[in-house]
Structure formats: C-alpha cells, structure tokens
Amino acid sequence: MADVILRNVSKRFGSVEAVRELSLAVNDGEFLVLLGPSGAGKTTTLRLITGLERPDAGSVMINGRDVTQDPPGSRDIAFVFQQYSLYPHLTVFDNLAFPLRSPARRVPEPVIRKRVEQTAELLHIAGKLNNRATRLSGGEMQRVAIGRALVRDPSIYLMDEPLSSLDAKLRAELRLELKRIQLEVGATILYVTHDQVEAMTMASRIGVVKDGRLLQVGTPREIYEAPSCSYVASRLGTPQINLLPASLMSDIPLPRGTQTVGIRTEHLQIAARNGGRLIGRVSRVEHLGEQNHVHLDYRGQMLVTLADPHQPLMSGQEVEMRLTNPLYFDAAGQRLDAML
Amino acid sequence: MTAAAAKSTAHSIVEASPRSRAVAGSLVILYAVITLLPMVWIVATAFKSQSDAIAYPPKVLFEPTLEGYVNLFTVRTRQTADFIAKLPPPSTWYDVIVRKHDMVIAGPSKVVPRFVNSLIIGFGSTFLAVFLGTLAAYAFSRFRIPLADDLLFFILSTRMMPPVAVAIPIYLMYRQLNLTDTRLGMILLYTAVNVSLAVWLLKGFIDEIPREYEEAALVDGYTRLQALRKVVLPQAVTGIAATAIFCLIFSWNEYAFAVLLTSGEAQTMPPFIPFIIGEGGQDWPAVAAATTLFVVPIVLFTVLLRKHLLRGITFGAVRK
C-alpha cells in the first residue's frame, strides 16, 4: 500500500479537454472518491493513473516513484472496470486467478489457489468458483470483478463506477461490503462515481470533479457543510440545494457581495404566518411516507424543503419561511463566509 | 385467438403457431432437397457404369459398381483378349473390374498428388490468411493508424477485380519469380486474395470485443501479445472460425488461377477433375467420384467448426 500523487495532469482528446491541470494526492489506506457527472474526466483520471492513457502534461507518482512513462503492467495497480471485466470464456476461479497468472508475476499455482479461495471467501462467492463467469447473477459478477482486483496486493485499487450497472438494492449491499473489505484489508482505494450516496457512505475523502477540474477535496462532512462553490453544494444533498438569487432576499441581512443564497432543506423551516418577512406559497406537497417534500413558490422561484408529514399543509397556502445558516455564494459561485 | 397468441401479446416476439411452424419446416425441407439433389446425383453417378452414367432418359435405379472409383485412381491400358487370357488370374477386386473391359492397370493415376496439392494449398493459404488477417484486424481495431479508412478500402479493393483482369500480370510476375506451378506460389496467391476478406470480417468481430478485456490484462501485467492470445483470441474464435471457412471454400474451389498457373507439380483438384478422360471422351463416373471426394474435406471442416459458428449467439458476460 502506498500513496498516489497527480501533479498538474492534463489530457485532451482532439478538441475535448478531458482533464485540466489536475492535482490530487491519495494517501495510504484512504478511500478517496471522485464524484462528478459523466464526462467530467473521472474515468480519464483513473486511466491516466493506470497508464492506459499518457498525460499531455504533468506527472503521476506512485509510492514516491515517477511512473508517468511506465506501461500499465509495471505500475502495481489493480483496476476494477465499470463493465466487461470478466472473461466469459473462463470459470470464476480462472477469472480470479488471471491477474496472478500474469507472466510478469510468476506466482506459484498453490499460492494462487490459496489467494483465490481467500478472496472468494471475503466476497461470499466461494461456492461459485467452478461456475462459468457467464452463469452468475449481476451482483455475483460484480463481486468477481472486484475480487479480480483484490487477489493482488497492489499499491492502489482504482475502481471505475463498479456498482453502477447494478440495481439499487444490490448497490446498497455491495456498498457496505466494499467499505467493510476496505477496512479489513486496509486498502488504498481511488473510487469514481456519479452517485452522491456512494461517495457520502464510503469515502474517507471526496473530490468533486467537473469539466476536467478538481473543484474541492475534503471529508464528506466538509464537502457537505462547507462546499467551496455553488456547484459542489449542488452535488450533495437530496433534495438538491435551493439556489436563490440574492436580489430576492433583500429583506434579510446578507454578506457583502452575495449573489446567490444556497438553502438546503435543513436551512429552511416553514411555519404558519406569524409576522415574518419571508413569505412563500405552497405549490405542491409530495408524500414520501416518513417525510414530505414541500415545493414552495417564493417570488416566482421554486424551493424544495422537507416537512413533517403531520404538519398540515395545503397547496396554495401561504407560509412563513425561516432560514438558519444558509450558504452564500458570490458572483463567481465561490462561497462567502457567513457574517458572525 | 389461441391461448398462446393471447399470452404473447405483451412481447414483441410472438410464438409461432403450429401451422406456421409446419409451413416454415416444409419450406426448409424443400430448400434442402433442392440444394442436396445435385450432390445426391453426383454421389450416385460415381457408382454408375459408363453407359448408365450417360443413359437417356437418366437412370435413377441402376446396378452400382466401383468402376468410377477404380478408373479415378488408376491408369489403364487396353490389351487384346489373348494377352489378358495369358495373364495369371486377377489378384485383387479392382483387377477383376478392369479386366472385364479388356484392360490392365498400368499404374496409379495423378489424383492422389492432386488431392494432396489441394489440401496443402487450401489449408496453407487459409491458415496464413487468417493468421495475418487476425493481426491486421486487431491493429485496425485497436490502434490509431494514420489513414486507417483509406488503407482498409485499399485492402478491400484488391478483391474487386475479377481474376481475369489480373491474370496476365500475375502470370508474368510468377514466371519471373519462378513461382508458376509451385505450391508456394499458389499458397501466396490465395493468401493475398483471402487476406482482404479476412481483415474485413475479423475487424468486425474484434470491434465487438470490448477493449476493457485487454486493458484489464494489461493492468494485470500481461503484454499486448499475451493479452491478445489469452483474452482476445478466445473470444474471437467464432469470427475466426467463420473467416477460416470462407477462406478455405474460396481457395479450395478456385479454378481460374489454378488453370492458369498450375499444370503439373502444383495442380489442384479443380483443374484436374474436368480432364479425367476415359475411352471415347469424359469418364463421367470417375469425374463424379473425384467430385465426391473433393467435397468431403469442406464438409468435415464445416462440421468441425460448427460448434464455434453457433456459439456466438449467447456470448458475453455482461448484463445490460
């Protein structure tokens, strides 16, 4: 196990700048999640670390060694692909053994057998070792795919949306298991996803990526509570953060230069009208069982917040809104410190 | 509406009714009969006597004889009845057949060496074309090659001219290089013709194999060639088998170049068969016997690779 450092790495494909001057350090034993929409350059970043792509500029260091020009095989990395990581012509055992049987590694066969069996045990697929890879359920396939990385003991595990092709239930299950395995093995993992739940639940740190740039790196809590900009704020949280133009909020004191006010559901309480200045009109209430999503019309802007399902609310009703510690963003979208 | 039809309305694939199955089945059988009839006629003709073979109206029922096969494999000379009477009694069954026509066997015919030529040239050129084609197709499929589209079109264009158009230049070239009437020359020629087909067919198959498979192997420490051998080739088996069959059928059947460039040493079966002459013209039973034997390797090869040809349908370890 070791750390990986990217220094000002850039990569373009034709006219598309996939990764721009990206710098990132993955520390030993850390579970770092890169979160971003598709096309943000997450996968390209992983491929640059692996050596499947060469950066146009910048360098990649693994374990203190500059590997920018090294071929993928000599970088001591294990990669879990989003799809297509199992060889259909091999059994589960042979699929798991494949990385160890690489001619570059020369692992003796008894050791391979032991490693594969241990890994299968860890992933709860020990009973399926003699099955053909094609005869597995989606969840089992994905376990084997992760297992193909785990049989080795590389410097770092790179995972490219390994759970995205699974259904919600399996995804939740494997999410927990992956975290458990990471803690058990003490692995360094760089994990790429567009799913904020995966990022929040598994990551030691999250890096938010957009348009090939790394916008912010921090613990899930830091990213959620102190986002560097309005985009990062909008990546995390369900329902999504409400972004209102400051011009509509002239009734309350705002920090100097505020252009946008970011209001998460927990920043916004609603109550019956009682002399407050922020008055919104309920336009729709969605019942989700344990809570209600309340859509509010505030001076022509739609806001979403949560409410107790027992709170009597009807569409068309006017309510008073109270803000507690919302986020403030300037004209460039950067977050401003709240006034003390 | 039948229960089966009602059940299937939710799906786009409708289960066939028994009647449509019957119609489809009989159409297929009819087609098979039409296709196989010439084959059956050839196999039957090989067992006819010379006179039965050219009888009009054609004989469907006849007394089978191995004359055709004996004539195919032997060279015979006609002798006077006195001469034959003085010979010791025939020692083998084929001597018996031959002597009935006042002939004696003078030696083996050229059919075996011609057949061997066909085997060597056919399978040799198929192997080379598929081998080179696989490597080229892999490169076209995976690497950024400058002018790749133009190169692919150029490769295809070699197949566009009829053999007659290039016959004279190739003949002159081959004479210069001393390749006329050599097995090597024929193998090279058929390889050149087949490789274009092989590249195009195989590129399609290899394009279908996701790159991630090899990339995973590269990350695991395999070299490009090892990844090709261990990961790509096993999955391209279906395509390789289909391509090999096409290539073999072409070089096995090829007539124009074979007539032009081979006459002795390297002559293949196609130019040999039509010139099997008996007394008083073509020896049709022998020609039919040769044709029967000629078809066997292709049938065997296809049956052998059938498993791979059919396997492509349920391929892939990915659920989408």
Digit-coded pLDDT (tens) for A231-273: 999 988 888 898 988 888 877 788 888 888 999 988 888 888 8
In the 8-state DSSP scheme, what is residue B228? Answer: I
Does domain A242-336 bear CATH number 2.40.50.140? yes
Q: Indicate where chain A has its CATH 3.40.50.300 domain(s).
A: 4-235
Distance from the A127 Cα atom to the nearest Cα atom in chain B, whole angstroms: 19
Nearest Cα neighbor of B187 from B277, B247, B242 is B247
> What Å distances lie between residue B68 and B62, B77, B198, CA to CA?
14, 16, 38
Strand partners, A62: A4, A65
* Nearest chain B residue (CA) to A136: B317
Distance from the A283 Cα atom to the nearest Cα atom in chain B, whole angstroms: 39
Strands A242-245 and A77-80 come out as: unpaired
> What Å distances lie between residue B241 and A167, B10, B175, B213, CA to CA?
37, 38, 34, 21
Chain A hits for B217, CB-CB cut-off 8 Å, are 98, 102
Q: How far apart are CA A116 and CA B60, in angstroms?
A: 67
Q: Is the pLDDT of residue A107 over 80?
A: yes
Whether the CB-CB separation of A216 and A23 falls below 8 Å is answered with no
Cβ–Cβ of B221/A99 closer than 8 Å? yes
Residue type, B22: A
Instruction: Give the residue numbers in B contacting A (CB under 8 Å), as ranges.
Output: 210, 212-213, 215-223, 226, 230-231, 234-235, 314-320
Q: Indicate where chain A has its CATH 2.40.50.140 domain(s).
A: 242-336
Whether the CB-CB separation of A90 and A149 falls below 8 Å is answered with no
**The token pair that represents B232 in the structure block:** 């790509």
Task: Report pLDDT for B126.
Answer: 96
Q: Determine the distance from the C-alpha atom of residue A165 to the mean position of all C-alpha atoms in its chain, rounded to a whole number.
A: 15
Distance from the A55 Cα atom to the nearest Cα atom in chain B, whole angstroms: 17
Task: Report pLDDT for B318.
Answer: 38
- What pTM was computed for the model? 0.77
Chain B hits for A86, CB-CB cut-off 8 Å, are 317
Q: How far apart are CA B293 and CA B269, in angstroms?
A: 10
ipTM (interface pTM): 0.78
Query: Is the backbone peptide bond immediately before A72 cis, with ω within 30 degrees of 0?
Result: no
**Best A98, A150, A152, A170 residue to mutate vs chain B (most B CBs within 10 Å):** A98
Q: How far apart are CA B86 and CA B101, in angstroms?
A: 16
Distance from the B25 Cα atom to the nearest Cα atom in chain A, whole angstroms: 32
Cβ–Cβ of B222/A73 closer than 8 Å? yes
Distance from the A246 Cα atom to the nearest Cα atom in chain B, whole angstroms: 45
Cβ–Cβ of A87/B234 closer than 8 Å? yes
Interface of A with B in 107-166 (CB under 8 A): 133-134, 138, 141, 148, 152, 165
Looking at CATH, the fold of the domain delimited by B112-314 is given as MetI-like fold (1.10.3720)
Task: Report pLDDT for A340.
Answer: 53
Chain B hits for A78, CB-CB cut-off 8 Å, are 219-220
Cβ–Cβ of A84/B213 closer than 8 Å? yes
Distance from the A291 Cα atom to the nearest Cα atom in chain B, whole angstroms: 34
Chain B hits for A102, CB-CB cut-off 8 Å, are 217, 220-222, 226
Q: How far apart are CA B14 and CA B25, in angstroms?
A: 17
Digit-coded pLDDT (tens) for A50-95: 999 999 999 999 988 899 988 888 888 899 988 767 888 889 999 9
Cβ–Cβ of B218/A52 closer than 8 Å? yes
Chain B hits for A75, CB-CB cut-off 8 Å, are 219
Q: Mean pLDDT throughout A162-187?
A: 85
> What Å distances lie between residue B229 and A128, A151, A165, B149, B223, CA to CA?
26, 22, 28, 26, 10
Nearest Cα neighbor of B209 from A81, A88, A230 is A88
Digit-coded pLDDT (tens) for A183-220: 888 889 999 999 999 999 999 999 999 999 999 999 99
Does domain A4-235 bear CATH number 3.40.50.300? yes
**Best B144, B211, B220 residue to mutate vs chain A (most A CBs within 10 Å):** B220
Cβ–Cβ of A78/B219 closer than 8 Å? yes
Chain A hits for B312, CB-CB cut-off 8 Å, are none
Chain B hits for A85, CB-CB cut-off 8 Å, are 212-213, 216
Chain B hits for A105, CB-CB cut-off 8 Å, are 221
Distance from the A166 Cα atom to the nearest Cα atom in chain B, whole angstroms: 9
Task: Report pLDDT for B317.
Answer: 35
Q: How far apart are CA A291 and CA A242, in angstroms?
A: 18
Cβ–Cβ of B316/A152 closer than 8 Å? no
Q: Indicate where chain B has its CATH 1.10.3720.10 domain(s).
A: 112-314
Digit-coded pLDDT (tens) for A30-39: 999 999 998 8
Distance from the A88 Cα atom to the nearest Cα atom in chain B, whole angstroms: 5
- Measured between CB atoms, which of B220, B223, B319 is closest to A98? B220
Query: For each of chain B's 320 residues, which pLDDT tens digit applies?
Result: 344 444 444 455 677 888 999 999 999 999 999 999 999 999 999 999 888 888 888 888 888 999 899 989 988 888 888 888 888 888 888 888 888 888 888 889 899 999 999 999 999 999 999 999 999 999 999 988 899 899 999 988 888 888 788 889 999 999 999 999 999 999 999 999 999 999 998 998 899 888 888 888 898 888 899 999 988 998 888 889 989 998 999 999 999 999 999 988 899 999 999 888 776 678 899 999 999 999 999 999 888 888 777 654 444 433 33
- Measured between CB atoms, which of B235, B314, B318 is closest to A89? B235
- Contact residues for B190 (Cβ-Cβ < 8 A; gap 6+): B121, B122, B125, B129, B247, B250, B251, B254, B257
In the 8-state DSSP scheme, what is residue A247? Answer: G
> What Å distances lie between residue B302 and A12, B22, B76, B250, B306, CA to CA?
48, 28, 36, 13, 6
pLDDT band at A2 (very low <50, low <70, confident <90, very high): low
Digit-coded pLDDT (tens) for B180-207: 999 999 999 999 999 999 999 899 889 9
Task: Report pLDDT for B7.
Answer: 44
Chain A hits for B212, CB-CB cut-off 8 Å, are 81-85
Chain B hits for A112, CB-CB cut-off 8 Å, are none
* Nearest chain B residue (CA) to A83: B318
Cβ–Cβ of B226/A88 closer than 8 Å? no
Place of tokens 């002798």: B79
Task: Report pLDDT for A190.
Answer: 94
* Nearest chain B residue (CA) to A135: B317
Cβ–Cβ of B216/A152 closer than 8 Å? no
- Contact residues for B18 (Cβ-Cβ < 8 A; gap 6+): none
DSSP B52-74: HHT-SSPPSS----SHHHHHHHE
Cβ–Cβ of A165/B319 closer than 8 Å? yes
Strands B103-108 and B74-78 come out as: antiparallel
Residues B180, B184, B187: CA angle, nearest 5 degrees: 105
